[in-house]
Structure 1
Amino acid sequence: MDRTERFYHIDRLLNERRVVPVQVFLEELEVSLATFKRDLEYLRERFNAPIVWDRDAGGYRFDAPSSGPRYELPGLWFNSSEVIALLTMQQLLRNLEPGLLAEHVEPLLARLQTILGEGNVTVGDIEKRIRFHRQAARVHDGKHFTLVATAVLQRKRLVIDHYVKSRDETITREVSPQRLTFYREAWYLDAWCHLRNELRSFALDAMKKVTLSKEPAKDVSDTEIAHILDGGYGIFSGKDIQWAELEFSAEQARWVSRETWHQKQQGHFEPDGSYRLTVPFSNPTELIMDILRHVPAVKVISPPELREQVRTMLKRGVESI
């Protein structure tokens, strides 16, 4: 029986039987006397449990509550494995967006650490032993993230000063947030742009200023969002979908066949061991970047226009060296 389960069991026995002999505890909990006494001490010190030994009654019982914090076991109970999973998840969230939920998560961490106790895995162990390495992560203003997340969840519009890198200019837009997306080490806001009257994705690191509006956000159906923003390859998507067919060498197929490039991709092995991958795309920008990562172990079978674009990029790359 896990220690956290034993705490709950001790509490239940004392409430049901009022006075519980030591032998009953040892048989019910299936632990040694030393372990049982450590559990009692922990309940007294960490949870302020008023458990006393009644010599006349021949067992342990709850005494009248003492001054100080009221005795109460956590209403939401986790065993050690679940607590470790939660702490690991918190560590992941901390790395994805430092400070976003800190003020809400820190009190929870203290309670989880209380459940784990001394001598087991600690928050410090999680931080030291489990590492999340983010490569080429893009930096953005944490205040912007909080405002954007608030607007997404509270269904409010935003006014953003959005920097367009390709034109080196900043445009002020009013948008209706639909969802936040974490993609390839960067955060994006998927929103209805009231300037262009269409769905678009805005990188948070390109936001120079963010203002929360009192106006309610325009709601776009999940079906329309999926069709326009999720139908094609990568973050650059659109309505006009084409299909790219790629062939990877037998050696490269060992890795590519296990990768998910798109949720609607199709793939199969050829008799010679090569791998054919078919993925949908609208804007080819990101797809070309990923194809170039696998050169020379990849061929663009179709469409011809995509093959020519890849050749052009390769030629420019060689000429620039």
Structure 2
Amino acid sequence: MSAPKPVVHAAREQVGRLLALVPYLHQRGEVRISEAAAVLGVDVAQLDKDLRVLFMCGLPGGFPDDLINVDLDALEGEGIIRVDNADYLARPVRFGPSEAAALVVALRALEQSTSAETREVVARTLSKLEAAGAATAAQQIHVEADETPSAELLPVLQGAIERGRQLEISYYVPSRDDQSTRVVEPRAITRVGDATYLDAWCHTANADRAFRLDRIVVASELPDPVTERAAEPRDLSGGWFSGDGETVPVTLRLAPEAQWVPEYYPVVSSTPGPDGALDVVLDVASEAWLHQLLFRIAPHAEVLEPRDFAESFTASARAALSLYEVPGVG
């Protein structure tokens, strides 16, 4: 007997199951929940939760006649799934002219600004859309990607590297919504993955840093020559590194109620935890930002590592709770 598949709580996986479930039920009229769970590869308890989400889905408007109807009496009493008022999900999806045009414009813009591997996938998708006639209204649209701010900075950066001069840059870090001015000693401009970086010694951090070009807002060459710290470019092609160079890996244990986090924030890794939990590793550039996230998802998350982050959040949470204490009230 094969082991049961692990329960997947991610919102994206749940949407996929629901989209597959409705046409499946439409063909059969009704089905036992145990049979549907086996087909979808989840346990009965998880599918029961999915169906109670489906009960609140439907067409825009949100009125009773717009929502999908799940027979909860049959589900709870007989273990039978019956769904109606969802005929539209069983029909093939057809794009309207404006939807097709928007999709083709977005794909063509993506085709010009991404890696060669992704461009190949985008080109095949465009070919299928146009062959199917879905994009007739958009076939004459010509899309050119806007010149990125980094293109204007390239001559300044490259000139400073060639002349061996230091740079003053204004750099934006989105993970903590902060823009700072730094003096750096540039070594080289290098590309890793889909992004281009300035490899440099940073005087502010007093350490090596790699700055993404699309996050450098302004750059100006200084008269000061670089020192021996910028003598040789580093080899950044051998493995992952932090583009901002100032992040700390933080391991969170997420209960099912907080497992939407990986859907919204990039994570380094995720592994199943005990009792349906999910352990994720995030690169965090600001402890204050982490506290904000934890306050949003408390009490459904726990900081496993590093311990000083866990302790500082616990202290912040206790301080916040103390503000709600009313003297004399037991």
Bigger radius of gyration = 1
TM above 0.5: no
TM-score interval for Structure 1 and Structure 2 normalised by the shorter chain: 0.3 to 0.5
